[in-house]
Structure 1
Amino acid sequence: MSVHFAPGARTAWHSHAVGQTLYVTEGVALTQERGGEVVTVHPGQAVTCGPGVEHWHGAHPDHLMTHLSIWEAPEPGSDVAESTWLEHVADDGAGR
């Protein structure tokens, strides 16, 4: 799925029952795993979050951003929810 973010837009903290890979196609992305550092991702780069890892992602405040969001397939017949949404990221972007 291709997702477009306006400058400074971001998701809330969330996790996926299965892994997720984000491949940035334009702009500049920011992402952070809970307890980790904010990471900058540029076009042509990808970042992967493992199953159940709480994280957020969005556009740098000065740049729009588009990424392809790729999920691992759940086991056939699994009743696994796609995402679990949590609290919003602090406005300073350092939502530790």
Structure 2
Amino acid sequence: MHLTPSTPTAKGPADRFTGDVYLNMISAPAEPAYMVAALVRFTPGARTNCHSHARGQVLHITDGVGLVGARDGHVVRVTAGNTVTCPPGEDHWHGAADTTLMAHLALTVGDRTGDGTTWLEPVTDEPYNAALAAHH
């Protein structure tokens, strides 16, 4: 057994997020499991860039209301207690709704080279607002 102290909250980098996003790392990729876990908090309207994960990603919503969308336009509205599984290699994004915070646990499996995330372009206001309108 090993107790890991809490990590400082870090602001999500502007080249990966639109709006204000805050992260607390829980687990970085390391032997033997290479589990990557973080608590991610989104302010209203904040969202990730489009991205994918080599081994997929699980998002467990802990608070608020948000959206998770795939490049093909499929979007789901999420609330506390929901879990979304994004398959390996699927381009997707996630973030808060426009009027409420959203927080989730982001869980992925990395490897010796990192967390397996490929970061892509920002999700602009047009597709984000369309997703909001379709899921209010």
Q: Which amino acid aligns with 2:89?
A: G
Q: CA RMSD in A?
A: 1.8
Whichever structure has more helix as a proportion of its residues is 2
**Aligned equivalents of 2:75, 2:102: Cα separation in 1:** 16
Q: Which amino acid aligns with 2:76?
A: V
Q: Which amino acid aligns with 2:57?
A: Q
User: 29, 32, 57: which is aligned to 1:20?
Assistant: 57
Relative contact order (C-alpha < 8 Å, sep 6+): which is higher? 1
- TM-score by length of structure 2 reads 0.62
Identity percentage over the alignment?
Answer: 49
Structure 1: 4+ residue segments shifted above 6 A? none
**Aligned equivalents of 2:65, 2:87: Cα separation in 1:** 22
Structure 2 residue 125 is matched with structure 1 residue 88: no
**Aligned equivalents of 2:99, 2:45: Cα separation in 1:** 7
Larger Rg: 2
Unaligned runs of 5+ in 1: none
Where 2:60 maps in the other structure, the secondary structure is strand
Q: Which amino acid aligns with 1:54?
A: D
Matches within 5 A, 1:1-96: 1-74=38-111, 79=113, 82-92=116-126, 93=128, 94=130
Q: CA deviation at 1:5?
A: 0.4
Number of paired residues? 92
Unaligned runs of 5+ in 2: 1-37, 132-136
Contact residue 109 and residue 115 of structure 2 kept, 8 A: no
